[in-house]
Chain A
Amino acid sequence: MKILAIESTAHTIGVAIIESKAKSATAVSKANTKVLSNEIARYPAKLEGFIPRKLADHHAKEYPRVLRAALSKAKVALADIDYFSYSQGPGIGHCLRVGFVGARSLSLLNGKPLIPVNHTVAHVEVGKWACGCADPLVVYVSGGNTQILAKHVERGANYYHVFGETLDVGIGNFLDVMGRELALSPPNAIGFLALAEKGKEFLQLPYTVKGNNLAFSGLQSAALRLKGKHPSADICFSASEVAFSTLVEATERVLCHTGNKEMLIVGGVAQAKRLQQMYSLMAADHGVRFSVVPPVYAGDQAAMIGITAVKHALSKDIRRDVSPNQSMRIDSHAIRW
């Protein structure tokens, strides 16, 4: 089957074409399911942060170009597509609408089903597909999300159960705010992490682990109070050491509870080298296989939506309610594979 997928939940608009020869949802692998194209356009990081309306305008403007590029790169015609899919949520309302309208009209015009996909589930599924994991403990770290989750049976059905998460801001937002407030270049997580590597002196900062859960706002305000009093590099270094250590510790707590044999980190922040290093040390200590989602599939893109849609199609699990859902959680619905 061929699937066209659209992603537009936040700062990225993307279109991907996926081809799968898998016989069942659990058999989906890199060998039988290929990404034919995976095109994106990203709204550039700005000092003022993100304004929902501007993001949506950007997506609407870029969508036709991205769509054409995805089709031509994949050498696939719209008529060859068996299913259309889109990222249903969670995300920014204005942005979600762009993907929804795009996918819905393609589905209606071509007379093919529309598969709504949970964006968070998609981050997990693309990681499992790319790294060949069967049942990993997953750490999903992106802008607004910091979740530690694993498949868990609840009342007879499988769910991605969230065992630990942030109780205030997502770790990516924390890194972005630090980069912006310290006026780094670029003024976001990337600038922050690059400067953190140059830090020398470790400054004590509040270390918050609440059981399996995390909180970053206390760390954020304490770190920003040091602005101007210490070199920015030392502030970045110390704040990233503390933030990542609390994240790895919370993960270790969950791992001791669930006993998974594989661990996988997904989402944009999974690209942070120091975080990967910490996780590999922790995983080795527990004899757990550790994988990191490859960079192309770490941030938001549409291939993850398409891979997940393949699993939905193969398990005949297509939600009736196709409209965007801003506050969808990963545990909002059962997982049928």
Chain B
Amino acid sequence: MLARGAEAKVFHTTYDGEPALAKRRLPKAYRLAALDNTIRKQRTRREAKILRAARAAGAKCAELLKEDEQNCELLLKEVEGTLLSREKTIAPKQAFEAGLQLALLHDAGIVHGDYTTSNLIADGNLVTVIDFGLGEFSNAAEEKATDVLLFEKSIAGRANEPALRSHFEKAYLLHARNGHATLKRVKAIYARMRYASQSQ
């Protein structure tokens, strides 16, 4: 096994004689089987569909080689690099790249759903997006804002958090069609979360 995420286990394998990765969504014992099967299949199907659309839109993401919905498995090309969450320090340029990639996705009508540093692979200043299992085709401001929020929460506490945040937002504003509206919505969600925590 190469890696284990929260949902999937990832194994080395081959496809057409070439090295490849198998991402398999294994059953969760805590979920009712009826619910579990629906979710795993739905996410596998959705991830495949979104990966194709994201690549078509020019976003940097893993190449999909094969889809096997019955077994909840996708075959992917391995992406070179390190998970951004595992980097000791994240460079502002990498945050800028993360903002740019998110803008490309959003402009293609794709929200990622789990846009954190654990789902971004960095190779120098190049950033590749993985793990579209929670993704959706949507242009809703709320959904887009949630992607921004998730990224920002995932860099919280890092020594250079303000610089990372500003580079990320700058790239997003520069490239996303409705960037301003989305960032405004992010502020609204922060405010709502504060409200929720006080209204016991």
Contact = CB atoms under 8 A, between A and B. Distances in A.
B157 A154 contact: yes
A168 B199 CA distance: 11
Interface string A318-331: 00000000111100
A119 to B, nearest CB: 9
Interface in B142-180: 146, 150, 153, 156-157, 159
B6 A161 contact: no
B153 A245 contact: no
Interface string A197-231: 00000101001011111000000000000000000
Interface string B172-200: 00000000000000000100111111111
A210 B146 contact: yes
Contacts of A282: 28-30
Interface stretch (A21-29, A37-45, A57-65, A89-97): A89-97
A166 interface: yes
Contacts of B44: none
A159 B113 CA distance: 26
B97 to A, nearest CB: 19
A193 interface: no
Interface string A150-192: 0011110001010101111110000000000000000000000
B30 A167 contact: no
A204 B41 CA distance: 14
From B156, B159, B189, B195, name the one whose CB has the most chain A CB atoms within 10 angstroms: B156
A131 B115 CA distance: 34
A85 interface: no
B6 A327 contact: no
From A165, A169, A241, A253, name the one whose CB has the most chain B CB atoms within 10 angstroms: A253
Nearest to B33: A202
A9 B200 contact: yes
B116 interface: yes
B32 A245 contact: yes
Interface in A215-268: 241-242, 245, 248-249, 252-253, 255-257
Contacts, number: 111
Interface residues on B, range: 35 or more
Contacts of A245: 28, 30-32, 35
Grouping DSSP codes into helix (H, G, I), strand (E, B) and loop, the A interface class, with mixed when no group exceeds half, is: mixed
A285 interface: yes
A167 B35 contact: no
B47 interface: no
A127 interface: no
Interface string B81-96: 0000100000000000
Given A90-B198, A245-B35, A329-B194, A213 B150 contact: yes
Contacts of A155: 157, 159
A144 B118 contact: no
Nearest to B36: A245
Given A153-B157, A202-B35, A257-B118, A167 B6 contact: no
A89 B195 CA distance: 13
23 contacts: A10-B200, A91-B198, A91-B200, A120-B197, A142-B200, A143-B200, A152-B157, A161-B156, A165-B197, A168-B196, A169-B196, A170-B196, A202-B34, A202-B35, A204-B38, A211-B114, A245-B35, A249-B28, A256-B5, A256-B118, A257-B118, A278-B30, A278-B31
Interface of A: 9-10, 89-92, 120, 142-145, 147, 152-155, 159, 161, 163, 165-170, 202, 204, 207, 209-213, 241-242, 245, 248-249, 252-253, 255-257, 277-279, 281-282, 285, 326-329
